[in-house]
Amino acid sequence: MWRVNRPGLDARTVYRSCLTGAGADMSRYEDEVVLAATRYAVAADAGRLLDLKDLCEMPAVKDDRAALKDLYTSRLVRQADARRYYDKLKAAAPFGQCPLCGHRDVSTLDHQLPKSSYPLLAVVPDNLVPACADCNKNKSAAVATTDDAQTLHPYFDDAGAGQWLFATVNRATPATVTFSAEPPLEVGEVMRARIRAHFAAFGLAGLYAMQASRMLAGQQRALAGLFELAGSAAVVAHLREQADSWWGRFRNCWQFAMYQALAGDEWFVGGGLRG
């Protein structure tokens, strides 16, 4: 997961923009939405979004719940005045890449707490995370029932500066790489569990393995040529240089983990790279 700066958008302002031209008069919920947004920020900062369970019951009127949810689809996404906030939230992702997987392009916004269960948070900026379509679909409308089952929130959660994404070389022809999440002890048990939950929820092991296979296939000839020309030491030096470059830019990205694993695998650098 990549960190993204908090939107810095005022919940009241965004909500009011979504009321313009809305079919139902939902202005009576403005203060409730603002209060929910304030509570959300406090809970998210503490990693305690589960403390907001009571918001699932609000409002009690079924038609009003539907109208609040519709403000996202029909107003924030489609109405010109509100759409500028939608676009600003999408554009906040570094390099236009989904912070949930750190790989695919942003194409939508994901509700960290689903609008189907939390209609008061449907257009609250802190609850709207830039995401790719696949991550948005994978996360679905599921709601964690325990703290350690929560996926990571790009605006609020810091998985730590240390390494938690690792790779292992599969000694086959051609070589492939397997990825796993192994968070360090210093981040704490709850955060360790959340990192693993996030890794599993978004299917990152499969995504990263597929991308690594493609990259390895594209580099196999160049690596084999370097091995024949200068030996395994030159290959190791090259792979470590690539790993350091990725680590310096994007920590815990699959590219760093892959190059790190390849450089440290004696079979691969000793000739296995020739496929």
Are the C-beta atoms of 17 and 124 separated by less than 8 Å? Answer: no
List, for the chain, all residue ranges whose pLDDT scores fall below the cut of 70: 23, 141
Q: Which residues pair with 169 in a beta bridge?
A: 177
User: What pLDDT shows up at residue 132?
Assistant: 97
Q: How far apart are CA 117 and CA 134, in angstroms?
A: 21
pLDDT in tens, 117-126: 999 999 999 9
Q: Say if CB 47 and CB 190 are below 8 A apart.
A: yes
Which residue in 119, 114, 65, 108 sits closest to 86, CA to CA?
108
Looking up tokens 């990571």, which residue turns up? Answer: 152
Helix (H, G, I), strand (E, B) or coil at 30: helix
CA distance 146 to 172: 40
Distance of CA 224 to the CA centre of its chain: 35
Which pLDDT does position 203 carry in this prediction? 94
Number of DSSP helices (H) and strands (E) in the chain, helices first: 10, 4
**Alpha carbon distance 268, 236 (integer Å):** 10
Q: Closest Cα to residue 258, out of 105, 273, 134, 225?
A: 273
Shortest CA distance to 254 belongs to which of 181, 201, 156?
A: 181
Residue 126 has a pLDDT of: 98
3-state helix, strand and coil shares in percent for the chain, rounded to the nearest 5: 60, 10, 35
Q: Is 209 helix (H, G, I), strand (E, B) or coil?
A: helix
- Count the neighbouring beta carbons within 10 Å of the beta carbon of residue 230: 12
Instruction: Give yes or no for a cis peptide into 59 (omega within 30° of 0).
Output: yes
Output the pLDDT for position 235: 97
What six digits make up the tokens of 95? Answer: 């390099």
* pLDDT at 22 (0 to 100): 73
Q: In terms of Cα–Cα distance, which of 224, 217, 119 is closest to 176?
A: 217
* pLDDT at residue 181, as a whole number: 97
The token duo for 37 is: 């947004």
Please tell me the pTM assigned to this model: 0.91
CB 1 within 8 A of CB 198: yes
Query: What distance in Å separates the CA atoms of residue 104 and residue 179, rounded to the nearest whole number?
Result: 17
Report pLDDT digits (tens) over 12-69.
999 999 998 776 789 999 999 999 999 999 999 999 999 999 999 899 999 999 999 9
